[in-house]
Amino acid sequence: MHIPILKHPQIQRAKQTLKLTASRLVDNHINLAVTGLSGSGKTAFITSLVNQLTEANEQAYLPFFSVLSEQRLIGVRRDVQPNLTFNRFAYEQAMSDLTESPAKWPASTTGVSQIRLKIKYRNVKGLSQYLVDDSTLTLDITDYPGEWLLDLPLLDMNFEQWIVHCDGELTDTRRAKLALEFLQALENVDFSAKADELVLEKVAGLYRQYLQQCQFEGYQLIQPSRFILPGELANAPVLHFFPIPQVLIENHRLNLSNPPSGSNLAVIISRFEQYKEAVVKPFYKHHFRHFDRQIILVDCLSALNHGHSSFQDLQKALDWLMRSFQYGPSNIINRLFEPKIDKLVFAASKADHITPDQQVNLIKLLDNMLRHARKKIQFDGVVSESTAISAIRASKSGFSKVNGEDIPTLRGVNSNGELITLYPGEVPTACPSLDFWQQQRFEFPKFMPPELVNSYALPHIRMDQVLDFLLADKLR
């Protein structure tokens, strides 16, 4: 019996060997960091990302996602997450919240969770197109509280340096007012006396209360972050420490380099170091050193609403955040032994809270905030992009007649469940001066999620462009 040469067993075995070799050489894995500070919309973003991909061949509207527009996307499914000790990202619960009547926003992140997607597609280039009909890209996404990010720079600080930083924060008159009860309690602490666990716990509680008030007032640079989102460390002694203002150190002639053994001061310094060693360092080691793609979500609009101090604090927090990641070109050797982030998206979130004509201004404002941090990553050869997105669009844009003139407006449901139509105002392209805020203020609205009618795909703004930037080069 004649066997066609391409069907011969030896040819088939050789083809299978080549397929295996090619799959090992092909870069078919992405570890994505979805990064953002408190309230920036990380949970909504990950929910939308999963939803857009899984609904891509069904109802999702993704005109700029090239693998889809080229009709090469075969399908996307959820797979077992890589780290079984982490929680599963609660995608199903998030979608349940969004499809209730009335819809509600998914709960914010309170701990580490992960999700893994398998993206199956047809090849168009490279060795693999001749050896296999299709390939699969593994996309791992890790979700974690944004507040925890701001502890990473503490690894480069000792207690004295941290005190200098905290003193600098208290030059802000609003922060100093919020810290008043904590500062008064410090006056009654004998730092040279034998350590008193109850005293340290009480004062640390007042410091935690101060940080919580700062967060409520719109400040973002808040650390130690576990004071406001402790996770499994709630009530643990490792959180019972606090900064000591330089003026108290001088008045009490405290020696930070050689505190009395067993004293309050010695225990405070020791716990600061233990916090870095037992909490911050493992978090960095287990997560941030292994990412190779990143999106940083920034809520510029809420910072504008809170005023000049809050906006300046957000910019400072972004500078801190950018110091915590490894950036640079990534190849197969780097990915195996020393992963580095080689693609980065800066995304101003909640673009549906402003009219479409102001979205360009929002991107310019974000670029202005990132001008210092961006110089370094550009030097390191990282491909980056700035954009304005809405992971889950909660408003509809249109026009209203005012004195015979068409005015751009938004229409959506506010937090009281009322349908409102409004013009939210202009977005500045740079941080306004302090004088501006003394004369007026920004009031960008908050909307409830949209009601989904006969659709499983979430409405969005520019999620397809984000997906294409982050994934398209791996889906060829």
Note the pLDDT of residue 438: 84
Within the chain, which residue ranges are assigned CATH 3.40.50.300?
Answer: 5-144+288-392+454-474
What pLDDT score was predicted for residue 382? 76
Instruction: Give residue 235's pLDDT.
Output: 87
Q: For residues 66 and 338, what is the distance between their CA atoms, to the nearest angstrom?
A: 30
> Distance between CA atoms of 310 and 61, rounded to whole angstroms?
36
How crowded is the C-beta side of 334, counted as CA atoms within 13 Å?
13
pLDDT score at 205: 96
- Each residue's pLDDT tens digit, 369-412: 888 777 777 766 778 899 999 999 999 999 988 888 889 999 99
Residues 270-275, mean pLDDT to the nearest whole number: 97
Model confidence band, residue 11 (pLDDT cutoffs 50, 70, 90): low
What is the pLDDT at residue 39? 85
pLDDT above 90 covers a percentage of the chain that reads: 58
| Dist CA 190 CA 358 (whole Å) | 55
Asked if 218 and 258 touch (Cβ cutoff 8 Å), the reply is no
How far, CA to CA in Å, does 13 sit from each of 7, 8, 19, 26?
10, 9, 10, 20
Residue whose C-alpha is closest to residue 290's, from 29, 25, 31: 31
Alpha-carbon Rg for the chain, nearest whole angstrom, is: 26
Q: Give the DSSP H or E segment for 197.
A: helix 197-216
Q: What is the 3-state secondary structure (H, E, C) of 33-46?
A: EEEECCCCCHHHHH
What DSSP state is assigned to residue 403? T
Instruction: Please state whether beta strands 343-348 and 293-298 pair in parallel, antiparallel, or not at all (unpaired).
Output: parallel
Q: What is the pLDDT of residues 237-251, one digit of tens each?
A: 999 999 999 999 999
Which pLDDT score is estimated for 332?
42
If residue 74 lies in a helix (H) or strand (E), which one and from where to where?
strand 73-79
Separation in Å, CA 118 to CA 66, 220, 401:
17, 35, 48
pLDDT of residue 126: 54
- pLDDT band at 189; cut points 50, 70, 90: very high
According to CATH, the topology of domain 5-144+288-392+454-474 is Rossmann fold (3.40.50)
pLDDT of residue 48: 97
- Please, which residues bridge with residue 139 across strands? 30, 117
CA dihedral over 256, 261, 264, 269, signed as positive or negative: positive
Average pLDDT over residues 114-126: 88
Helical segments of 257-381, H only? 264-275, 281-286, 300-306, 308-322, 332-337, 359-369, 371-379
pTM over 0.75: yes
- Which has more confidence, 285 or 208? 208
pLDDT at 5: 58
Q: Is the peptide bond before 102 cis (omega within 30 degrees of 0)?
A: yes
Give 117 or 434, the one with higher predicted confidence.
117
Average pLDDT estimate for 90-101: 93
Q: pLDDT tens digits for 342-376?
A: 888 999 999 999 999 999 999 999 999 888 777 77
Question: Residue 9's pLDDT is what?
Answer: 60
Give counts: helices (H), strands (E), the chain. Answer: 19, 11
pLDDT of amino acid 145: 79
Checking if the pLDDT of 413 tops 70, the result is yes
The predicted pLDDT at position 325 comes to: 65
* pLDDT for res 125: 60
- pLDDT tens sequence across 455-470: 789 999 999 999 999 9
pLDDT on residue 377: 73
Residue 172 — φ and ψ, nearest 5°? -75, 120
Mean pLDDT of the chain: 87
Single-letter amino acid code for the residue at 175: R
Dihedral sign of CA atoms 173, 177, 182, 188 in order: positive
Nearest-10 Cα torsion for 387, 390, 391, 392: -170
Residue 232 pLDDT exceeds 90: no
Q: What is the pLDDT of residue 371?
A: 82
Average pLDDT over residues 470-476: 93
Q: What is the mean pLDDT of residues 298-313?
A: 92
Other Cβ atoms less than 10 A from the Cβ of 409: the count is 18
